[in-house]
């Protein structure tokens, strides 16, 4: 026997070409088609990284001259005057409006999206779950501007009473203090519309993650006497938490860069208008400020000021998506 002679069984068995049982060089190099596909995939990945890097370098290259000639603090000033000989521009107001509207959208969209995903995967009967899942996936593919215009037409008339109620009941709080902005051009309304835009993404990705929960985990919890909700809380939600976080981050990145709908809705504050922390105030996001003034890029210095604002938005969006990638990598089941 091989154990007596000191020769392993694997050494005694011939491989596909008379060599080792694993195929020798064939197993190491792979087939030609596999090598071509692997090289193409690697090249595509390198190309994407190179393009993102070049975009960042271009934005930085174009923004530096304007930042050098800026006569106010770029990070702390809310002044924006780029028409005169002296550039005076800052991003405080833009950063506040962009971040706050996106956070409002997440606070509304994530709980609703997770609840809908749980209903489809855990509570809905089979005859309803499959069509509902298909419908959610289709809704996630619809351009977000469609939801934005729908929210504007549908929620706009009903928003003013809400604003009046908040001002009368919570007006003593800085976040709901009265402002000169009326109608639906406020930061709060923009956040509500953004939540409608990103809700299909959060729902679709969360549903996909919850559907991958191992049946053994759920059946084990139920076998131990857990109720339906206890099973979801102890088995489904912990398993899907990284995926839900990643879905929220991806939706947040989309909300940060939303342009057309925000440009249509938002009420810009005139120069000299007092700025406040109120969510019932107006403002502009990075994207809407750039879109509203795109036709005025008549010289490199003026365009550089807007490119500097775009660079901040680029970095902000990149950081959000990088966090989503890090979170999702913690669970290989969602990334492979």
Per residue in 278-318, pLDDT (tens digit) is 888 877 888 888 887 777 777 878 888 888 988 998 888 88
Cα–Cα distance measured from residue 187 to residue 166, given in angstroms and rounded to the nearest whole number: 14
Share of the chain above pLDDT 70, in %: 84
**Per-residue pLDDT at 139:** 85
Looking at 204-208, 210-214, 231-235, 240-244, which range is the least confident one?
A: 240-244
CA angle 319, 325, 331 (to 5 degrees): 150
Distances (CA, A) of 123 to 59, 120, 204, 210, 233: 48, 6, 16, 12, 14
Determine whether 204 is exposed, middle or buried from the number of CB atoms within 10 Å of its CB (0-12, 13-18, 19+): buried
Q: Which CATH class is domain 66-335?
A: mainly alpha
**Per-residue pLDDT at 331:** 58
**CA nearest to 313, candidates 50, 81, 54, 94:** 94
| More confident position, 41 or 336 | 41
* Lookup result for tokens 């208008």: 273
**Per-residue pLDDT at 91:** 87
Strand partners, 193: none
Residue 54's contacts (CB-CB under 8 Å, 6 or more residues apart) are: none
Alpha-carbon dihedral 155, 103, 238, 325, rounded to 10 degrees? 120
The 10 Å CB-count burial string (b at 16+, else e) for 276-310 is eebbbbbbbbbbbbbbebeeeeeeeebbbbbbbbb
Cα–Cα distance measured from residue 124 to residue 210, given in angstroms and rounded to the nearest whole number: 13
Domain with CATH 1.10.3720.10 in the chain: 66-335
Q: Please say whether the beta carbons of 66 and 253 come within 8 A.
A: no
| More confident position, 59 or 143 | 59
Average pLDDT over residues 15-19: 47
43-77 tens-digit pLDDT: 999 999 999 899 989 999 988 888 888 888 888 88
Q: Which stretch of DSSP H or E encloses residue 188? A: helix 187-211
| More confident position, 334 or 196 | 196
Q: Please say whether the beta carbons of 252 and 199 come within 8 A.
A: no
Q: What is the pTM of this model?
A: 0.79
Question: Is residue 132 classed as helix, strand or coil in its secondary structure?
Answer: helix
CA angle 292, 295, 301 (to 5 degrees): 100
Average pLDDT over residues 191-201: 87
Cα–Cα distance measured from residue 17 to residue 75, given in angstroms and rounded to the nearest whole number: 67
- Identify each DSSP E strand in the chain by its residue range: 80-81, 88-89
**Per-residue pLDDT at 12:** 46
């Amino acid at each position: 026997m091989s154990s007596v002679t000191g020769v392993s069984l694997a050494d005694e068995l011939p491989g596909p070409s008379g060599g080792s049982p694993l195929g020798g060089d064939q197993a190491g190099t792979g087939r030609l088609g596999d090598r071509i596909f692997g090289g193409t995939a690697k090249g595509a990945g390198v190309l994407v990284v190179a393009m993102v890097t070049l975009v960042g370098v271009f934005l930085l290259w174009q923004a530096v001259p304007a930042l050098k000639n800026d006569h106010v603090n770029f990070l702390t000033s809310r002044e924006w005057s780029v028409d005169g000989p002296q550039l005076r521009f800052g991003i405080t107001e833009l950063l506040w409006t962009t971040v706050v509207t996106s956070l409002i959208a997440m606070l509304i969209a994530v709980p609703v999206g997770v609840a809908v995903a749980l209903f489809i995967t855990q509570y809905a009967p089979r005859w309803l779950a499959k069509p509902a899942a298909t419908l959610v996936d289709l809704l996630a593919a619809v351009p977000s501007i469609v939801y934005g215009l729908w929210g504007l037409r549908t929620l706009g008339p009903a928003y003013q009473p809400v604003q009046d109620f908040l001002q009368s009941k919570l007006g003593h709080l800085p976040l709901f203090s009265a402002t000169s902005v009326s109608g639906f051009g406020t930061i709060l309304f923009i956040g509500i519309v953004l939540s409608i835009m990103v809700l299909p993404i959060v729902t679709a990705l969360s549903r996909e993650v919850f559907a991958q929960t191992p049946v053994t985990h759920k059946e084990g919890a139920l076998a131990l006497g857990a109720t339906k909700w206890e099973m979801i809380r102890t088995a489904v939600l912990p398993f899907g938490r990284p995926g839900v976080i990643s879905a929220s981050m991806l939706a947040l990145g989309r909300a940060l860069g939303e342009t057309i709908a925000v440009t249509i809705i938002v009420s810009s504050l005139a120069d000299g208008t007092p700025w406040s922390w109120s969510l019932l105030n107006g403002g502009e996001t990075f994207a809407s400020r750039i879109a509203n003034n795109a036709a005025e890029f008549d010289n490199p210095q003026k365009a550089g000021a807007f490119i500097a604002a775009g660079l901040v938005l680029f970095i902000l969006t990149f950081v959000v998506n990088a966090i989503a990638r890090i979170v999702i990598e913690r669970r290989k089941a969602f990334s492979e």
